[in-house]
Amino acid sequence: MTDFAELTEAEHAAGRRLRARKRAVNIAIDVFLTLFSIAMLLPLVFLIANAFKTPAEMLAWPPTIVPHDPTLENFRAVLGETPLLRWILNSVLFAIMSSIAIIATSSIAGYIFAKFRYRSLNVIFALFLATAIVPFEVYMIPLYFQVKSLGLLNSVWGLLIGYLVMSFGIFLIRQNVIHSIPDELLEAARLDGASEFWIFVHVVFPLLRGALGALGVLAFFQAWTAFAWPMIVATTRSSYTIEVGLALFQTGYTVDLGKLSAASATVLIPSVITFMILRRNFVQGVASTGMKE
């Protein structure tokens, strides 16, 4: 009886030590993630704070997070000396049109690759995936001459030609179609006399809403942050995108930190709004894709 009681007490003690160890590990993980999050957010906080600082306070050490004498002079200078709103409008149009094009091409191609049984489609799909490992810079110059021959330089349409298709988007939609749309549902629609186009628009497309939302966010920010392609296609000041326009604040020897911070803080607004609008679809799309994989 005594040995059993001692053994039970020993088991309880071991259980308490194990729980204490798990609690300590969880606390350590929480502390690490908190510090890591602060380290990741700190540059963004300083960027926004610098936009409201005077030049003297911006160069002071140690740097301050909350400006002592906040000013809007940096924003006035940026908006008065550069066509910042025009650059933002160019980027917004480019990103929205690119997102629509990529959603359309990826949904159609992903559906065909997933549900139509032809051997040649597997070869074409493999070729599409292979293009993902080819850097855009490799075929950027030939694509530039095509855009130039079409007379689309310095226009949103010229920018759009480089961002019509995303190989990852086709792969993402194909995997979602395979795992979330049963063949029986499509066969039932065909037996009712529905055309393939009607099935795609009224059956397939609505069921892919989560994945398409995630793809839309990825496509939007891919175009929003593009730099090399807009830099060679847009050569006039009024046709710049915001990424190319921000580069003007940095020369070979100096950086206008105040104006650059004000412009960057202004640019954050459309991207944050877009993410907030599509956040739910983005999270659902990525989460459902991971669960099915």
pTM: 0.75
Predicted confidence (pLDDT) per residue in 256-272, tens digit: 777 788 888 888 887 78
Q: How many CB atoms lie within 10 A of CB 192?
A: 9
* Cα–Cα distance, 162 to 48 (Å, whole number): 32
pLDDT at 54: 83
Q: Which of 100, 97, 106 is nearest to 200 (CA)?
A: 106
pLDDT at 293: 41
For Cα atoms 125, 126, 127, give the angle at the middle one, nearest 5 degrees. Answer: 90
Predicted confidence (pLDDT) per residue in 207-254, tens digit: 888 888 888 888 988 898 888 899 889 888 888 888 888 887 776 566
pLDDT at 33: 93
pLDDT at 252: 58
Predicted confidence (pLDDT) per residue in 91-140, tens digit: 989 999 999 999 999 999 999 998 888 878 888 888 888 887 888 878 88
pLDDT at 108: 92
Question: Residues 260, 50: contact at Cβ < 8 Å?
Answer: no
Sign of the alpha-carbon dihedral angle for 40, 217, 290, 166: negative
pLDDT at 29 over 90: yes
pLDDT at 4 over 60: no
Question: Residues 129, 167: contact at Cβ < 8 Å?
Answer: yes
pLDDT at 145 over 60: yes
pLDDT at 286: 59
Question: Residues 91, 157: contact at Cβ < 8 Å?
Answer: no
pLDDT at 247: 81
Task: Give the model's confidence band at 292: pLDDT under 50 very low, under 70 low, under 90 confident, else very high.
Answer: very low
Question: The domain 73-291 is classified under which CATH number: 3.40.50.2300, 1.10.3720.10, 3.50.50.60, 3.40.50.720?
Answer: 1.10.3720.10
Q: Which of 285, 158, 125, 288 is nearest to 219 (CA)?
A: 285
pLDDT at 5 over 80: no
Predicted confidence (pLDDT) per residue in 37-92, tens digit: 999 888 888 888 888 888 788 777 888 888 888 888 888 888 888 888 898 899 98
* Cα–Cα distance, 175 to 227 (Å, whole number): 30
Per-residue CA distances from 156 to 12, 25, 119, 153, 234 (Å):
69, 52, 37, 8, 9
pLDDT at 28: 93
Predicted confidence (pLDDT) per residue in 179-210, tens digit: 888 888 888 888 888 888 899 888 888 888 88
Per-residue CA distances from 89 to 58, 82, 238, 242, 260 (Å):
29, 13, 10, 9, 18
Q: What backbone torsions phi and psi does residue 83 show, to the nearest 5 degrees?
A: -80, 60
Lowest pLDDT segment from 159-173, 239-253, 275-289: 275-289
- Cα-to-chain-centroid distance, residue 14: 47
For Cα atoms 166, 213, 33, give the angle at the middle one, nearest 5 degrees. Answer: 95
User: For 164-178, what is the mean pLDDT?
Assistant: 89
